[in-house]
Amino acid sequence: MSRNISLLSGKKDDKNSLFGKIAASPTEAADNQLAGEYNLGVSTIHSTKSFYDFFSEDFKSKKAYVCTGSACLCRGTQGDVSDKLNAKFGAENVGEMICLGRCYENSAFNIDGQNYSGDDINKLDTIIAGDHTSPDYTMKSYSDTSFLVEDDIFSSYDDFKELLETCFAADKAELINTLKESGLRGRGGAGFPTGMKWEFCQAQEASAKYVVCNADEGDPGAFSDRYLLEEQTLKVLFGMAICGYLIGSKQGFLYIRGEYPESIKATDDALAKLRELGLLGDNILGTGFNFDMSVVEGQGAYICGEETALIASIEGRRAEVDVRPPFPTVEGLYKKPTVVNNVESLAAVPAIFKLGGEAFKKIGNGRSTGTKLISLDGYFNNPGLYEVDMATPMNIIIDDIGGGFNDDIKVIQVGGPLGGCVPIDILRTLTLDFESFDEGGFLMGHASFVCIPESFSAVEYAKHLFEFTAHESCGKCFPCRLGATRGKEMLQSAIEGNQKFSEELIQDLLETMEAGSLCALGGGLPLPVKNLLEHCADEFKPYMEK
């Protein structure tokens, strides 16, 4: 059934996603019309709508939303935020969103489709009157050669045009080799070599191919993609355009999470300007190359960060994970060969093509080359976004770049809710690269840093991770759907003093999730929970059966 929906969705219109049309059709009549246009049962449209948080009538009825992401939770700011929003709008009119990308100053909330944080909560009257703008956050490069943050290499529409002309004049195989030589690996967490992915897709014979930017940055604690989409938009869009040229695609999609309204606007504005300049659309720069891009706005589902769930969502399906193989480069969007890349991976491409693959490769260590964006939360004295060289020692990141901590920190979760929970003394022995974190039994992922202070219970944090996974599971596989719920219930019951839990049982549960889950949501959750059970054992003992 899902395959038929994919084919019907692409056959009708492969430039404007069915998902976008569903989001824009709030009425029963519009659902019926869409179903007729796409030869689908109306139940398929209703099934899709029931999957996403933002489609629910209860969610849409709210006037304000409180961020419930891990960084704000650990910072302890959200109780005050909830109280003030409840007092202003009424508790029945205040809902929740999971991470608004404001982890650098916390106290995050959303009103009328705009995000706020920090001291903004004390300026509600000004915000409601439309007279307030949230201040910018700290952003800086600590690399001798900035590929992502600084503007001196690539930042303008003229730069975009000039580099396109240079690439169009080069041999396609040479460009792919430049990307492979650079050693650029996926920055979304998986770390797959970008040049190899493009080459695999290029080699496929198909009537159509697609480029997809995975901008569903749902990891609480991460805000690097948000920065790139809002402040370095052209770098991301160039990466997609040149990928389309190399693999033989005519259409790209940027799947941007709905919790980032500023990112959606910045991207739409840049796309419109590129079309106006003739740098997107038909016969770009007289070369015969046709390529355009569309934004697809996410509707509150973390699982869409998984590439097959993201593809399903664009097609207008429930965002359920698909079994692999086949991988997207062989059978992806609309069952056609598709390159799916993370925002940061795409943003690094223009500087690599402008400076050469060797310039990127010489930075870093081993198979972890180039620079990386890191997101430091509000527990650092210098919170914000920083570009650093791969293989930078973590003690430099913590002390020199981050300026140390403003509270007693026991553990940092690096790489999102599925990343390892690393004790500070161990974290200081690592370097910022894939190998160091893998060898230590952790995960670098997005390189987001969520600090867990001594005052925050490790048991409560483990319960939070189970709860997050239970809420965000696509529900397709039992180990994730049921395992996360049972884990949440197990810890909740112990915390409330009803029933202690068995260490053997929770370890068995974690191993089942790790081995049996279809994707990294259920399969990745056991890592941080096991880390907490090991490194914060004294906190768990009072809740365990003897």
The rounded mean pLDDT for the chain is: 94
Which residues does residue 297 pair with via DSSP β-bridges, in sequence order? 256
For residue 135, pLDDT over 80 is answered with no
| Strand 114-116 with 338-342, pairing | unpaired
For residue 97, give both structure tokens.
Answer: 């969103």
Which residues does residue 450 pair with via DSSP β-bridges, in sequence order? 413
- pLDDT bin (cut points 50, 70, 90) of residue 137 is confident
Per residue in 30-81, pLDDT (tens digit) is: 889 988 888 888 998 999 999 999 999 999 999 999 999 999 999 999 999 9
Helix (H) or strand (E) holding 406: none
Give the chain's radius of gyration (CA, Å): 23
Which residues does residue 110 pair with via DSSP β-bridges, in sequence order? 65, 115
Instruction: Kindly report the CATH number that applies to the domain delimited by 145-360.
Output: 3.40.50.11540
Are 48 and 316 spatial neighbours (Cβ–Cβ below 8 Å)?
Answer: yes
Residue closest to 291 by CA, chosen among 279, 277, 307, 303 = 279
For residue 200, give both structure tokens.
Answer: 């695999």
pLDDT at 315: 94
Identity (one letter) of the amino acid at 149? V
Residue closest to 187 by CA, chosen among 163, 213, 208 = 213
pLDDT at 448: 96
Mean pLDDT of 1-13: 72
Per residue in 423-455, pLDDT (tens digit) is: 999 999 999 999 999 999 898 988 999 999 999
* Sequence ranges of the chain with CATH classification 3.10.20.600: 363-453
Residue showing tokens 């080699």: 203
Per residue in 310-351, pLDDT (tens digit) is: 999 999 999 999 988 999 999 999 999 999 999 999 999 999
For residue 409, give both structure tokens.
Answer: 């920190």
Which residues does residue 339 pair with via DSSP β-bridges, in sequence order? 211
**How many whole angstroms separate alpha carbon 546 and alpha carbon 538?**
13
- pLDDT bin (cut points 50, 70, 90) of residue 5 is confident
**How many whole angstroms separate alpha carbon 185 and alpha carbon 194?**
5
pLDDT at 40: 86
Alpha carbon 321 to its chain centroid, in Å, reads 16
Q: For helices 503-516 and 526-535, what crossing angle results, to 10°? A: 150
For residue 112, give both structure tokens.
Answer: 């009328």
- pLDDT bin (cut points 50, 70, 90) of residue 359 is very high
pLDDT at 526: 97
Which residues does residue 94 pair with via DSSP β-bridges, in sequence order? 64
* Sequence ranges of the chain with CATH classification 1.20.1440.230: 458-543
pLDDT at 10: 77
State the Cα torsion 437-259-328-243 to the nearest 10°.
-90
What topology does CATH give the domain 363-453? Ubiquitin-like (UB roll) (3.10.20)
Are 449 and 373 spatial neighbours (Cβ–Cβ below 8 Å)?
Answer: no
pLDDT at 12: 66
Q: What is the 3-state secondary structure (H, E, C) of 140-202?
A: EECCCCCCCCCCCCCCCHHHHHHHHHHHHHCCHHHHHHHHHHHCCECCCCCCCEHHHHHHHHH
* Sequence ranges of the chain with CATH classification 3.40.50.11540: 145-360
Q: What is the DSSP letter of 515?
A: H
Per residue in 362-389, pLDDT (tens digit) is: 999 888 999 999 999 999 999 999 999 9
**How many whole angstroms separate alpha carbon 361 and alpha carbon 389?**
11
Identity (one letter) of the amino acid at 517? S
- pLDDT bin (cut points 50, 70, 90) of residue 1 is low
Query: Class of 458-543 per CATH?
Result: mainly alpha
**How many whole angstroms separate alpha carbon 97 and alpha carbon 54?**
9
pLDDT at 188: 78
User: How many beta carbons lie within 10 A of that of residue 449, not counting itself?
Assistant: 28
User: What is the CA angle 303-307-312, rounded to 5?
Assistant: 75
For residue 13, pLDDT over 70 is answered with no
Instruction: Kindly report the CATH number that applies to the domain delimited by 59-128.
Output: 3.40.30.10
- pLDDT bin (cut points 50, 70, 90) of residue 191 is confident
pLDDT at 211: 98
Query: In terms of C-beta distances under 8 Å and separation of at least 24 residues, what long-range contacts does 49-56 make, across chains too?
Result: 49/22, 51/301, 51/318, 51/319, 51/474, 52/299, 52/300, 52/301, 52/319, 53/299, 53/300, 53/301, 54/258, 54/299, 54/300, 55/23, 55/299
